[in-house]
Structures are given as structure tokens and as C-alpha cells.
Homo-oligomer: A and B are copies of this chain.
Amino acid sequence: MALKVGVIGTGMIGQDHIRRLTQVLSGVEVAGVTDIDLARAKSAAPAGATVYETPEALITAPEVQAVVICSWGPAHEAQLLACIAAGKPVFCEKPMVTSEAAALKVIEAEVAFGRRLVQVGFMRRFDADYRRLKRVIDGGTLGAPLMYYSKHRNASVPEGLYTSEMPLNDTLVHDADISRWLLSDEVSAVEVRVPRRSTRGRDLRDPVMVMLHMASEAIVDVEISVNIGYGYDIRGEVSCENGIAALPNRPAAVVTDANGIRQAIPEDWRERFIEAYDQEFREWIVAAGAGTATGPSAWDGYAATLVADAALRAVDSGAREPVTMIDKPALYN
């Protein structure tokens, strides 16, 4: 039996997930959609899907077995709490919530419910390259990880719309989450350094260098550049006691011509992570079909919120800003 899913939010990312759920993946169907713009919801609704007038109506509808949240960030808290109240598995796009207090409410509700229901959309954990990298580290032959270098290089950002807070508030969460997961570790403090600015971004604070001090004392050394022009270039390298493990080049054809011997770089995040998004939902469907959730949890969403907050404090203070988490509920072990 196919899992009947309701989708909240039918903007760009919501439409992409509807396409994925209806055209790419098996064992799932989109039973309902909603959006603050009901006309947009109607136009995005696949054949046979009900258009609900509100998120609450969708979440509580008996034919909706699981929910996908693609609304804007400030709406997530109430929608997640409603899903938990209804006992329904929910996939929530980043950011899970927009404040520490909201994150704690989601955790509290889920812990009270007693079973994981929430999966947060950190798709990198489902990327085959990152997974192979983690298997090498977890395999243990290289010894403990001591440094992790995460390069996050984005082709371009819209001038005017994109502000200097965004690399630390929106972009860094991917590096922070993948670092916590790769190293099986938590962030205990954050420092930010601002190198020479790229003239491509005019007044933008770009690039930024972020140090995540981990509980193990490993240091995660992040470069975020958002205006490199040449493509979308994500790299990761773990320095361990006995060796190094790194993400490979993307698998483009090896061309030799007047430009040298070379492989193309992805154009954007869609090209880079399209299979990761598919796999993310494949695993969500299996877990949601069993009434629960797997992968990145509310705890991971909470951690991401704290790291972003600390990074924003650190860029202002120039100091080492601590990240202090509550004791980890057993539900998240």
C-alpha cells in the first residue's frame, strides 16, 4: 500500500518534492496539498489530491498518513507541533524552526509522544559520496578525526536580496550538520573569521571562515563562499590520526583539450544533490510507513539552530561563542 502524503507549501521546493513523490519514487502518493496561496496549491496539486484550506485541516485529515512541510521557516513550529499532536510522521525542510525556544518545544512534544516522528531536511546525509566518506571514518582504520575541512562554494547569490547574515544563518547549517554526523560529535563552540572580501560580492561579507570546536576537541574548519562564479563546489576532507579521507571529484567525463585534462564542476546545488534528495525521501517513506522517522532528527534541527545563533554572535564579538545544549533525550540516541 502506498503511503498517503500531505504537502504543506507549494512554492519552488514544495513543487519539486511533489514531482519527486509522484514521478520518481515508489510506495507513495500525494493525497493532499495546501498553501497560504490556495490558487498555487490547486495548480500544484497532482491528480487525485485534495486541496486543504489550512495546514491544520491537512494534518488532521484521516486520509493523510504523513506530512511534508515546505512552508516558510516561521510557520514550521506550529505545523510540527500539530503533526506530533496528530501522531503523524513529518518531513520538515530546513530550517526546522527559527529559534532555540521553538526547537525545544518540538523536542519536548516529540519526547512526550515517545517515538520519533520528525525528519529534518539535511539532505547531504543521504548523498552517496558523504556516506562513503563516513563509512571510511567509522571504519576506524584512519584513527580519530582531528580536523574536518568543509568547503562550501556557491556560484552566485542575488544582489540586494542576499545579506551578510545569510552565510552564517542559512548556509552554515549544512556544514554544521554534516560535520556533526560525519564525526559523530557535537559542536561546543563557534568562532568566525572574516578574510579579505571577494570583489564579486561588493559589500557582502564573503567569504567567511568558521571554526566549529567539537566536543571531542576536533576542529571543523569551514569556508563559505557564495559568489565564486564558476560553479557549485562542495568539498570535504577529514584529517585523522593515521590518514586523510576526502570527498572525490564529481563524476564528470574526463576531457582533455586545450583547457587541460579536466572534469566539469556542477552548476548549482540541484545538479549536485539531486540524487541525495531522492534518497532522502526514499528512506523517509519507509520510516513514515512504519509510523516513525529516521535520519536527521529534531535534535539535529535544534543543534543547527544553536550553531547558527552562535555563529552570528561570533562574527560580531570576534570571540569563541559557546554552544550549550540540553541533556540529550534518550529518544535521540
Is A128 part of the contact surface with B, judged by Cβ < 8 Å? yes
Is A67 part of the contact surface with B, judged by Cβ < 8 Å? no
Residues of B within 8 A of A252 (CB): 132, 248, 260
Residues of B within 8 A of A197 (CB): 146, 217
Contact of A24 (CB < 8 Å), options: B26, B216, B258, B263 = B26
Contact A258 B241 (CB under 8 A): no
Contact B223 A195 (CB under 8 A): no
Contact B225 A209 (CB under 8 A): no
Is A109 part of the contact surface with B, judged by Cβ < 8 Å? no
Give the residue name and chain of the B residue nearest to A246 (CB). Answer: B254
0/1 per residue, A12-34, Cβ < 8 Å to B? 00000000001111111000000
Contact of A243 (CB < 8 Å), options: B129, B149, B228 = B228
Contact B198 A209 (CB under 8 A): no
Q: Point out which of A200, A214, A230, A247 has the most chain B C-beta atoms below 10 A from its C-beta.
A: A230
Residues of B within 8 A of A80 (CB): none
0/1 per residue, A189-227, Cβ < 8 Å to B? 000011111111000000101010010111101010100
Contact A260 B263 (CB under 8 A): yes
Contact B244 A147 (CB under 8 A): no
Contact A241 B195 (CB under 8 A): no
A276 to chain B, nearest CB (A): 13
Segment with Cβ contacts to B, from A69-77, A137-145, A157-165: A137-145
Residues of B within 8 A of A43 (CB): none
How many Å lie between the Cα of A264 and that of B258 in the bound state?
A: 8
Residues of B within 8 A of A254 (CB): 244-248
Give the residue name and chain of the B residue nearest to A183 (CB). Answer: B196
- With A196-B218, A211-B193, A248-B251 as known contacts, state yes or no: A242 contacts B230, CB within 8 Å: yes
0/1 per residue, A66-106, Cβ < 8 Å to B? 00000000000000000000000000000000000000000
Contact B128 A241 (CB under 8 A): no
- With A25-B26, A195-B217, A217-B196 as known contacts, state yes or no: A247 contacts B253, CB within 8 Å: yes
| Chain A to chain B contacts (Cβ below 8 Å), 10 pairs | A135-B253, A142-B255, A143-B198, A143-B199, A196-B216, A196-B218, A231-B258, A243-B257, A244-B256, A256-B265
